[in-house]
Structure 1
Amino acid sequence: MIIIREAKIKDVNNIAKVHVDTWNTTYSDFIPKEELKCRTYEWQANKWMDRMFNNITKEFMYVAENSQGEIIGFASGETNKIEEKYDSILYTIYILKNYQRQGVGKRLFKVVADRLRSEGAENMVVWTFNENKSRGFYERLGGSLVDKKKIFKDKTELEEVAYIFYL
């Protein structure tokens, strides 16, 4: 049984572990190894602590726990973010590899979308790497490809693509 709940400050180290581990299993084909090596559990925990729990942003997060109480995934979002073209953003959605394709991602996606809708958002964008083999997840959920941009990771140029969802 998987439980979805709002993230708490005590979860930050486990969230960081999921984040780092999923980057390593999902992006290792196209993210430079040097970039992946820099993403330690401690580094990621500090980033999440600043981002979520030190009031730097209005971002919120939900976690997915397995029956042993271990965090196996998370998703975060925010309304009225920087990109004014869109009402809201799904910033992150990461699920450990062993729990993928079991409906956890859909449940996390839904809880974030429902919260954004309840806060007045009419649409939600999500950016993902064009090279991400899992990006079909967004298409299966009904997202429409609407934008793209170039970014750099450790001097490697990558392309991100955006999917829009109407809430």
Structure 2
Amino acid sequence: MRIEIHKLGPYQADAFVELLDIFKEVFAMRNFKLPANKHLEELLQQDDFFVFVAVSEGKIVGGLTAYRLMQYYSEAPLVYIYDIAVLKRYQRKGIGKKLILGIKDYCREIGVEEIFVQADDEDEHALDFYRATGAKESKVTHFTYPLG
């Protein structure tokens, strides 16, 4: 199976919607309401938001979203992988690893210092995946402030 990794451009909202459908399926997101296409197009036009997709035979089968974060400890930015998913029937075929390699290559080109990602302690599949892709693990506790 041939897999190509592509970074979506500003006017590829339809492809972004396909990836969001994959996220909805893989993450079992109930009551997910797709944002307006205009909002997705605006996101894709941002310099600090990235969407990478994995394509097999012209069909998007997985992807990831990430944010570039400017920092004050260094002039080099950081990148935070927000979501990554591959359709279940395409998992365990190296597609997730290719997505990670794709964003790593891109981030090297644009001078990123480090990429980071979170995973829930209970999500053994995600933990195993990140370990297998060479990520260095650090134990932290994540806090949120719900605002609505």
Give the structure-2-normalised TM-score: 0.77
What SS does the aligned partner of 2:142 have? strand
Distance 2:24 2:3 in 1: 21
Distance 2:94 2:35 in 1: 26
Counterpart in the other structure of 2:116: 125
Q: Check 1:144–1:136 CA distance in 2 against 1; reply closer, same or farther (3 A cut).
A: same
Counterpart in the other structure of 2:141: 148
Shift of 1:66: 1.6
Distance 1:51 1:148 in 2: 32
Answering whether residue 6 of structure 2 is matched by residue 2 of structure 1, we say no
Give the structure-1-normalised TM-score: 0.69
Shift of 1:9: 1.9
Higher strand share: 1
Equivalenced residues, count: 137
Where does structure 1 differ by over 4 angstroms across 4 or more consecutive aligned residues? 81-86
Answering whether residue 7 of structure 2 is matched by residue 17 of structure 1, we say no
Matches within 5 A, 1:2-151: 2-7=3-8, 8-24=12-28, 36-39=29-32, 43-46=33-36, 49=40, 52-53=43-44, 55=46, 58-67=48-57, 69-81=58-70, 87-134=78-125, 135-146=127-138, 147-151=140-144
Distance 2:20 2:35 in 1: 5
Q: Return 5+ residue gaps in structure 1 as ranges.
A: 25-35, 154-167
Provide the alpha-carbon RMSD of the alignment.
Answer: 2.8
User: Identity rate of aligned residues, in percent?
Assistant: 20
What SS does the aligned partner of 2:92 have? coil
Q: Check 1:9–1:50 CA distance in 2 against 1; reply closer, same or farther (3 A cut).
A: closer
Q: Return 5+ residue gaps in structure 2 as ranges.
A: none
